Amino acid sequence: MNGKVALITGSATGLGKMTALSLARQGCSITLNYVNSRDEAHALQREIEALGCQAIAVKADVAVTSDLYHLVEETERHLGKVDILVNNAGPFIRERRLFAQYEPEEILHLVNGNLTGVMLLDHLVLPSMREKQWGRIIHFGFGHAGEARSWPHRSVYAAAKVGLVSFTKTLAVEEAPFGITVNMVCPGDIRGTNKEKTIAEVSGIRDADTPRGRSGSGEDIARVIEFLCMDHSDFITGNIMDISGGLDPIRPRISPE
């Protein structure tokens, strides 16, 4: 992937950070994106540059349309046209709530950040990918998103991601003739510091909830994305991939209040 330009949203920390490092080790120039994690983004930028790759850090909120334009413009000005787009960022409300308990502005923010913003960012990079006859687009979902099951207390987030499932499959078909692949990765329950750990670092950590028996790591996700971005992975498109160790994270029933 030497010389490819990769734009990774939400990449100052967590799964996005591990993806950025993985693609940088393959020779990609990297656009890091953050909203609040400025120090972490610039520290990662220096780490990537130490690998011999170019990197920039750009502040942008994926739920704000003008920020998306700024993100692409800065990438093109400093690194060149985007070859690889990894849509990792997306707002999430951790507090468990019924749909009726959401404020209207929260609904709009979740949908904009997890669906509309992703679609707009894809739209911005498609012309240059078509011109090159090569491109890789990765979306992020959640475990079993492809089944469109109910997910109580996560209604808005789940609806946005399930909409993104359909969009992923449609865009994959539309852009396949142009050498562009579009896939979705659906991480399992990878929490806290494990998001920035390697497989070796978590392999000794027992996780009774995961059928595989160990905790997931950031490397588990990053290595799949790296594979999907390779030149000879062009026959893999329109797929929704659960990377969960066999875990089903959705609890479709709720207790009456």
pLDDT at 253: 54
CA distances from 154 to 50, 104, 158, 162, 240 (A): 40, 15, 6, 12, 20
String of b and e for 124-146 (b: at least 16 CB within 10 Å)? bbbebbeeeebbbbbbbbbbbbb
pLDDT at 255: 53
Dihedral through CA 141, CA 39, CA 58, CA 196, nearest 10? -30
- Token pair for 169: 């499959």
Residues 6+ apart with CB under 8 A from 189: 143, 209, 210, 216, 244, 247, 249
* Residue 67 banded pLDDT, cuts 50, 70, 90: very high
Burial degree of 177 (CB within 10 A; 0-12, 13-18, 19+): exposed
* Sole residue written with tokens 């142009």: 178
Q: Say if residue 209's pLDDT is above 90.
A: no
Q: Do 124 and 69 meet the contact criterion of CB atoms below 8 Å apart?
A: yes
Q: How far apart are CA 130 and CA 81, in angstroms?
A: 11
* Residue 210 banded pLDDT, cuts 50, 70, 90: confident
Task: Average the pLDDT over 55-61 and give the result.
Answer: 98
pLDDT at 256: 52
Averaged pLDDT score across all residues of the chain: 94
pLDDT at 178: 98
Taking the whole predicted model, whether its pTM rises above 0.85 is answered as yes
* Residue 189 banded pLDDT, cuts 50, 70, 90: confident
pLDDT at 89: 96
pLDDT at 162: 97
| Topology adopted by domain 5-243 | Rossmann fold (3.40.50)
| Residue 121 β-bridge partners | none
Domain boundaries, given as residue ranges, for the chain: 5-243
Task: Average the pLDDT over 127-139 and give the result.
Answer: 98
pLDDT at 252: 55
